[in-house]
């Protein structure tokens, strides 16, 4: 299934990351590059309704069930990062999926909330709001100590607006944890000729994870700064479910290179950020 499988597409007139209007198609039929912030994004793209229908097909989440034990360990690793800055508090997990991370955080004493657009994935064990964060009006400003977005921002129609909403929801000393795929990995190999498809970022496939935004380290840093956040930590995200020696060695090398040189060519990256109170 390709992009054309989606029944309803929409075309946007500005970059969803910086709201600039200087962009062009670089990988037909749907990958554009913004000339202002240099972010790759899909345009045309499936409408939000189509995206929700795709996730409600439950093809993505049924796979997660089979990976439950591996994902448990992954969530524990991510919770350890949360605990580095916030040992307790009120935690909101945006795009919580099946609620597994909320289960883990709750066991360690956090008060947990979540949001999720897919009814097929809604957790019944936590306070989870159905819908996109920007469309949920009942959440109080300056209320949450922690907001997490684990591989969510790349799925969003309007990621900049979502981060601005998260900024308002956080307390002044609140912390945002965000992880996204690092498309520099694919683009770097594409430039070297290691991979040479017409579209190195791939096609959108109905029933799988739908990435509308394709971040690189500089563009992720840029959108966080524009939204009013100060980055306090930025590194390689550990996305390896299978803990094989090669994967562990690769992660160590990637993180070491990133810390020494600032280069990040890994499969995924994370940022820890706080409100820019001096702005």
pLDDT single digits (tens) 128-175 = 998 889 889 899 999 999 999 999 999 999 999 999 999 999 999 999
CA 79 – CA 93 distance, rounded (Å):
12
pLDDT single digits (tens) 81-139 = 999 999 999 999 999 988 899 999 999 999 999 999 887 666 566 789 988 898 898 99
Structural domain count, the chain: 1
For 113, phi and psi rounded to 5 degrees? -135, 165
CA 31 – CA 29 distance, rounded (Å):
6
pTM of the entire predicted model: 0.91
Average pLDDT of the chain is 89
Residue 251: per-residue pLDDT: 84
271: tokens are 């940022």
For 197, phi and psi rounded to 5 degrees? -80, 170
148: tokens are 């997490």
> Between 199 and 63, whose confidence is greater?
199
Residue 233: per-residue pLDDT: 96
pLDDT single digits (tens) 216-262 = 999 999 999 999 999 999 999 988 777 788 888 888 888 888 888 88
Question: Structural domain of residue 183, as residue ranges?
Answer: 3-275
52: tokens are 């929700």
Neighbours of 102 (CB within 10 A): 25
Residue labelled with tokens 């970059």 = 15
Residues 6+ apart with CB under 8 A from 108: 79, 83
Mean pLDDT of 24-31: 95
CATH number where 17 lies: 3.40.50.150
Nearest to 163 by CA among 151, 155, 173, 153: 153
Query: Helix, strand, or coil here: 189?
Result: helix
The band of 1, judged by pLDDT with boundaries at 50, 70 and 90, is very low
Residue 261: per-residue pLDDT: 83
């Amino acid at each position: 299934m390709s992009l054309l499988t989606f029944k309803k597409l929409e075309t946007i007139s500005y970059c969803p990351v910086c709201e600039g209007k200087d962009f062009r198609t670089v990988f037909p039929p749907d990958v554009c590059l913004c000339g202002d912030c240099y972010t790759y994004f899909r345009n045309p793209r499936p409408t939000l309704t189509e995206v929700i229908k795709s996730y409600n097909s439950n093809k993505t989440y049924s796979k997660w069930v089979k990976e439950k034990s591996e994902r448990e360990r992954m969530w524990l690793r991510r919770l350890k990062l949360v605990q580095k800055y916030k040992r307790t508090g009120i935690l909101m997990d945006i795009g919580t999926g099946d609620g597994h991370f909320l289960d883990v955080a709750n066991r360690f004493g956090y008060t947990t909330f979540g949001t999720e657009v897919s009814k097929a994935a809604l957790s019944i064990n936590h306070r989870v709001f159905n819908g996109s964060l920007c469309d949920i009006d009942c959440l109080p400003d300056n209320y949450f100590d922690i907001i997490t977005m684990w591989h969510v921002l790349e799925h969003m129609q309007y990621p900049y607006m979502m981060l601005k909403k998260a900024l308002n929801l956080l307390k002044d000393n609140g912390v945002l944890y965000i992880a996204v795929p690092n498309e520099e990995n694919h683009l770097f190999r594409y430039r070297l000729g290691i991979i040479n498809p017409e579209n190195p970022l791939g096609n959108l496939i109905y029933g799988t994870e739908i990435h509308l935004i394709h971040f690189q380290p500089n563009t992720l840093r840029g959108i966080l700064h524009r939204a009013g956040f100060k980055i306090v930590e930025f590194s390689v995200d550990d996305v390896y479910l299978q803990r094989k020696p090669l994967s562990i060695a690769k992660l160590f090398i990637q993180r070491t290179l990133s810390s020494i040189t600032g280069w990040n060519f890994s499969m995924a990256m994370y940022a820890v950020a706080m409100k820019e109170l001096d702005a």
